[in-house]
A and B are shown apart, each in its own frame.
Chain A
Amino acid sequence: MNRASLLVAWVLAVCAPHIAACAPHVTPDMTVHGLTLPVRDPTPRPLDDDDPREAPPESEPFQEAEIPSLQRELLSSGAELLIQEFKGSPFLELRLVLRHAGSDADGASPGLAALTLRACLEGGTLRLSSKDFSKRLAALEVQWKTVVTPQAATIRAVVPKYNGSEALALLLQALREPRMDFREINRLRRLAPPPPFFLEDPTSWLQTLEQKEFLRAIPSASTASRALGPAELRTFWKQYFGPKALTAVFVGEVDPAIKTTLEQGTNSWKSTPVEASQRALAPSRERHRILLMDRPEAPSAEFWVLASGPSPSSEEWAAFSILGELLGGSPISRLALAMAGSPPVAVAPGAHVEERSGYSILKIHIDSDLSRITKALSVTLDVLQKASEVSEDIELQGAQRRILAALRREASDPRRFADFWEQQILLGTTEVEWSRRAERIQKVNVQQVSKVAKSYLNRGFLIVVVGDANRLAPALQNLGDIVRLDPTNGSL
């Protein structure tokens, strides 16, 4: 080897790392359906000693905050008491969950569950008129609202901790001995909101749709909510309201007298509720089902892709949650990277997993304009098809950290904490779930994520597209069966 060759070799050996360091840190572009998309490398760029750029600071060691464990007790009346200690707040978060009095239980009469709960709280009791009851609640400074989900009917309240027992006694009185006065029910019926339709409330509409599409149908829905009377309400109340179907959750500095109040308030409550049967999952689809919501001449368009996943109490749940996070939970998610570019294919794509009783659901939402929406849908389906290709630990670690951070946020606020327990009651996962949950997330590995992706994303999805139907329908025909919907219509 001559001296010139040696010199070249030496120069290359010295400079190669520096040349490499100067190269842009991007992975090869991604090609999807003939469209080339720039893909950014999700790994942080390592800096060597000669790099003039400053490296971000390392993480500092920290000690995980200790969360007091949940106290759980079954009272002689059959009511369940859950207490989550939360120091330093003058308020008490209170949840009274009637576990089977949800909208799924109202069967043939939509709106019955919601109206029954409202009639209890706003229609007066056998001892108090509605006005007196309302005044008593206000005097105790109770801020409350009612929530009816497919599984349950719940009272959510926040009350100064010194008034906790009195407020509980009053609320139990309303549930135990409602007046069910015809005039009051008439008044409340008028205030009942119409079924959600897309333009007014897309989130509620989508939830109703989800129940309809992923669970087996409820027997015929024939009675309109406006025609409900005291007889129907009373029958429903007798069937689903009672101490054996009641769980009371308290988060805050809880006075021990609360337990006595709950016992006294439920012991005299003579009722034997029948448990509602849980709706079974509908069979999975072979082909995509497309619901096309027509917005004539709208320049923008959007779509949702929904896929059902494992039950929250199953071992696969943690991996499925991480999969949702990897797909669309952050600005470096796979969908975000696939949609980026100039011009972008879509704006801020997002995906997350929501928990339901007996199943979980992956929801992806994409916003774009009319000319790019079908391209965005193709990209999304392609990303979902490749979801099982999880190879980088750093991608997984980031997703785990983000989910754990979200979990910590739940425990930082009594209100969120109470909502968390309320949900866990309905999912049937309250046993030591708080500590188990973080553990389950941390233990997930790449293979498990890959496995759930293969199991749950290789099916037909439910796709809801919103935009100018005349222009979108031809492009969507090849993907699956299309059903056209009117956005101003509440019925599904």
Chain B
Amino acid sequence: MRRFFQVAGLTVLAITLGVVEHAEAKSPRSPMAQKRPAKTPRKRPSPLAPAPAPPLVASRTLSLPPFKIERSSLENGLRIVLCPIPTATSTVIAMIYDAGARRETMGASGVANWVRHSMNLGSANLLRGEHERHLATRGARGWSELSSDRAIFLTELPPGELPLGLWLEADRLKSLHWISEGALAQRDMLLLKLQKQAADPLQEAQDRLRSLVFQSFWPYEHTPRGNLAEVTSLRPETAQSFHDTFYTANNAILVVAGPIKAEQTTQLVLRFFETARRQERPSSILPPLPEQTSRRTSTIDAKGLSPRLLYGWTTPSNRTDDALAAQAALHILAHQRLPARLQNERGLVSKISVSQENLRPAVFTTIGLSLTENTTQSEVEQVLDTEINALAQKGPQNAEITMLLANTEAHFWQMYRDLPRLTVYLGDMELLYNDADRITSSLAQVSALTHEQIRAAAARYLGPTRRSLVGIGVKTDLVSPPKFTPPQAPPKGKHHRPHRPSKAKPRR
């Protein structure tokens, strides 16, 4: 479980690494399948330290997997990212459209999700459902994901089936048959899913936290799944119009990773995708996220679940200089300090879960705490504040840094073997920051951070006025009775030491 948390937390941290410098794709694209040079990371003087501070020091030499990223683009604007990995046993294709829920208009939430589910309606070459049928009969599998920023379609193919995967993806991009009847059937399916999610208190809590964290910022405030009532009243024409606007070649990125040869794959991509349509690209410019100046809280009914707290933070998106330091501070807090204090020492929490979402305006981090019996919110808050204060005043400890760097390195190696995760990562880097190649310099960038940068980021971004909280069935103001129970005398034995009373004071 620990490792799962580390992996989840590191996903966004890893994204942060290579993308401190953002460049929106405004320059004209290079001609057909022309290679784009990788950008060299610029050196960043720390604004927080008066003199150059020593960087984080690893206990050994860190190594990054041998990523080789080839970036190019077609004349129609389709961006291509290739990542050859000779030792991989399958190939993964990720088709990413800048068509996330942020593109929806108020009152029409869920349309992005509906369109995502309707991409198998059939095409000029295939009947409805034949896309999946071709994949399944060749031993491949396909699935899709949606966030506020993008819709992503993933296909994992056995060796020898890359042409099929590319052909199928190009086919639905070029000639999706938007049939209202079929789309309505997909909406029925979607409504069934939404109905189930609406009854889930955990899902409700996560949605509530999102709306608190992105308060008054509609594109990210609403859940990408959409509101049940709004989806019910959506019309097929709305979805079709959304599809026609955002599912175009110049609004998409194609990522291929696996045992591929870059030149041959580029030829295949050219063959299948060069006739895909392009049209005027909708603007990606967003107003800035309003700064949070006070703590935001809410509670919901537990509906049978054990009590828990969900904390949410936004830290700078990867375009700003201290984004990486803020992510490192959150990582140390969530994966090292809170498990040590809340779980192991105080026993206030039985489980800690961490998730992070990298979005255009900010990185959205959630820490979920499942409380043990009789634990109150104030007890947890006290520990949380103490730990954040300590991090903000004294900075991270060396052991924490060692673990942070080791986890980051392990994360990249795991990603190197997990192609779906790798393609999503590369696609996100390319979509949000226009540079998938930064993965190759990422580990060096996190190693170049200083203790002072992490300390300053903790002070600036993790304080009480910067966080939001949703309590699920928690005792907010109740003071629980002392929980200390005198231990029973252990049976005498050769290896048993006499019990000494704990020095820890009983909790109030």
The answer to whether B137 and A231 have CB atoms under 8 Å apart is: no
Contact with B along A154-171 (1 / 0, CB 8 A): 001010101000000000
CB distance from A201 to the nearest CB of B (A): 10
The answer to whether A144 and B417 have CB atoms under 8 Å apart is: no
Residues of chain B within 8 A (CB-CB) of A141 are 59, 402-403, 406
Task: Let me know if B32 is at the binding interface, CB within 8 A.
Answer: no
CB distance from A43 to the nearest CB of B (A): 8
Q: Which of B1-32 contact A (CB under 8 A)?
A: 1-3, 6
Q: Name the residue of chain B whose CB is nearest to the CB of A40.
A: B129
Task: Let me know if B196 is at the binding interface, CB within 8 A.
Answer: yes
Question: A331 contacts which of B136, B156, B406, B414 (Cβ < 8 Å)?
Answer: B136
Task: Let me know if A480 is at the binding interface, CB within 8 A.
Answer: no
Question: A143 contacts which of B6, B60, B161, B351 (Cβ < 8 Å)?
Answer: B6
Task: Let me know if A229 is at the binding interface, CB within 8 A.
Answer: yes
Among the 9-residue stretches B76-84, B106-114, B487-495, the one with 4 or more Cβ atoms under 8 Å from chain A is B487-495
Q: Name the residue of chain A whose CB is nearest to the CB of B131.
A: A331
Residues of chain B within 8 A (CB-CB) of A58 are 163
Residues of chain B within 8 A (CB-CB) of A488 are 304
Residues of chain B within 8 A (CB-CB) of A375 are none
Task: Let me know if A367 is at the binding interface, CB within 8 A.
Answer: yes
The answer to whether A398 and B2 have CB atoms under 8 Å apart is: no
Task: Let me know if A49 is at the binding interface, CB within 8 A.
Answer: no
A264 and B176 CA atoms in complex are apart in Å by: 65
Most-contacted residue by chain A among B136, B163, B196, B499 (CB, 10 A): B136
Task: Let me know if B413 is at the binding interface, CB within 8 A.
Answer: yes
CB distance from B2 to the nearest CB of A (A): 5
Contact with A along B150-190 (1 / 0, CB 8 A): 00000010111111100110010000000001001100110
Q: Tell me whether A56 and B168 are in contact in the complex, defined as CB-CB below 8 angstroms, given that A65-B89, A342-B181, A408-B90 are known contacts.
A: yes
Contact with A along B241-275 (1 / 0, CB 8 A): 00000000000000000000000000000000000
The answer to whether B90 and A59 have CB atoms under 8 Å apart is: no
Task: Let me know if B299 is at the binding interface, CB within 8 A.
Answer: no
Residues of chain A within 8 A (CB-CB) of B189 are 344, 347-348
Task: Let me know if B289 is at the binding interface, CB within 8 A.
Answer: no
The answer to whether A200 and B132 have CB atoms under 8 Å apart is: no
Task: Let me know if A295 is at the binding interface, CB within 8 A.
Answer: yes
Among the 9-residue stretches B278-286, B342-350, B452-460, the one with 4 or more Cβ atoms under 8 Å from chain A is B342-350
Total interface residues in chain A, CB < 8 Å: 91
Q: Tell me whether A300 and B192 are in contact in the complex, defined as CB-CB below 8 angstroms, given that A59-B160, A412-B88 are known contacts.
A: yes
Task: Let me know if A299 is at the binding interface, CB within 8 A.
Answer: yes
Question: A62 contacts which of B134, B160, B413 (Cβ < 8 Å)?
Answer: B160
The answer to whether B138 and A59 have CB atoms under 8 Å apart is: yes
A338 and B213 CA atoms in complex are apart in Å by: 42
Question: A300 contacts which of B158, B162, B195 (Cβ < 8 Å)?
Answer: B195
Among the 9-residue stretches A177-185, A254-262, A284-292, A310-318, the one with 4 or more Cβ atoms under 8 Å from chain B is A177-185
Residues of chain A within 8 A (CB-CB) of B88 are 412
Task: Let me know if B305 is at the binding interface, CB within 8 A.
Answer: yes
Q: Tell me whether A231 and B125 are in contact in the complex, defined as CB-CB below 8 angstroms, given that A89-B413, A158-B3, A404-B158 are known contacts.
A: no
The answer to whether A181 and B497 have CB atoms under 8 Å apart is: yes
Q: Tell me whether A344 and B192 are in contact in the complex, defined as CB-CB below 8 angstroms, given that A57-B163, A139-B399, A143-B410 are known contacts.
A: yes
A488 and B201 CA atoms in complex are apart in Å by: 13
The answer to whether B138 and A91 have CB atoms under 8 Å apart is: no
Contact with B along A395-422 (1 / 0, CB 8 A): 0011011101100110111110000000
The answer to whether A331 and B350 have CB atoms under 8 Å apart is: no
A59 and B343 CA atoms in complex are apart in Å by: 53
The answer to whether A138 and B164 have CB atoms under 8 Å apart is: no
Task: Let me know if A436 is at the binding interface, CB within 8 A.
Answer: no
Task: Let me know if A343 is at the binding interface, CB within 8 A.
Answer: yes
Task: Let me know if B447 is at the binding interface, CB within 8 A.
Answer: no
Among the 9-residue stretches A2-10, A187-195, A423-431, the one with 4 or more Cβ atoms under 8 Å from chain B is A187-195
Residues of chain A within 8 A (CB-CB) of B407 are 143
Cross-chain pair count, CB within 8 angstroms: 217
Q: Name the residue of chain B whose CB is nearest to the CB of A163.
A: B60
Residues of chain B within 8 A (CB-CB) of A413 are 414, 417-418
A180 and B132 CA atoms in complex are apart in Å by: 55
Q: Tell me whether A187 and B139 are in contact in the complex, defined as CB-CB below 8 angstroms, given that A59-B160, A143-B407 are known contacts.
A: no
CB distance from B21 to the nearest CB of A (A): 28
Task: Let me know if B141 is at the binding interface, CB within 8 A.
Answer: yes
Residues of chain A within 8 A (CB-CB) of B3 are 143, 145, 156, 158
The answer to whether A183 and B502 have CB atoms under 8 Å apart is: yes
Contact with A along B93-135 (1 / 0, CB 8 A): 0000000000000000000000000000000111101101110
CB distance from A405 to the nearest CB of B (A): 4
Residues of chain A within 8 A (CB-CB) of B127 are 24-25, 45
The answer to whether B487 and A186 have CB atoms under 8 Å apart is: yes
The answer to whether A60 and B163 have CB atoms under 8 Å apart is: yes
Residues of chain B within 8 A (CB-CB) of A160 are 60, 406
Question: A299 contacts which of B159, B167, B195, B402 (Cβ < 8 Å)?
Answer: B195
The answer to whether A342 and B410 have CB atoms under 8 Å apart is: no
The answer to whether B185 and A408 have CB atoms under 8 Å apart is: no
The answer to whether B372 and A342 have CB atoms under 8 Å apart is: no
Question: A191 contacts which of B125, B161, B350 (Cβ < 8 Å)?
Answer: B350
CB distance from A23 to the nearest CB of B (A): 11
Task: Let me know if A363 is at the binding interface, CB within 8 A.
Answer: no
Question: B160 contacts which of A54, A61, A199 (Cβ < 8 Å)?
Answer: A61
Question: B159 contacts which of A62, A126, A158, A190 (Cβ < 8 Å)?
Answer: A62
Interface residues in chain B, defined as those with a beta carbon under 8 Å from any beta carbon in chain A: 1-3, 6, 59-60, 63, 87-90, 124-127, 129-130, 132-134, 136-141, 156, 158-164, 167-168, 171, 181, 184-185, 188-189, 192-193, 195-196, 198-199, 303-306, 343-344, 347, 350-351, 372, 399, 402-403, 406-407, 409-410, 413-414, 417-419, 487-488, 490-491, 493, 495-497, 499-500, 502
- Taking A90-B409, A413-B417 as known contacts, 4 extra A-B pairs with beta carbons closer than 8 A to each other, sorted by chain A number, are A145-B1, A300-B195, A302-B196, A367-B192
Which 3 pairs between the two chains have the least Cβ-Cβ distance?
Answer: A401-B139, A57-B163, A413-B417
- 22 contacting pairs across A/B (C-beta < 8 A): A45-B130, A53-B125, A56-B125, A59-B161, A65-B89, A138-B403, A143-B6, A181-B496, A181-B497, A193-B350, A229-B488, A229-B490, A234-B493, A234-B495, A300-B196, A331-B136, A332-B132, A332-B137, A343-B188, A394-B137, A404-B158, A408-B89
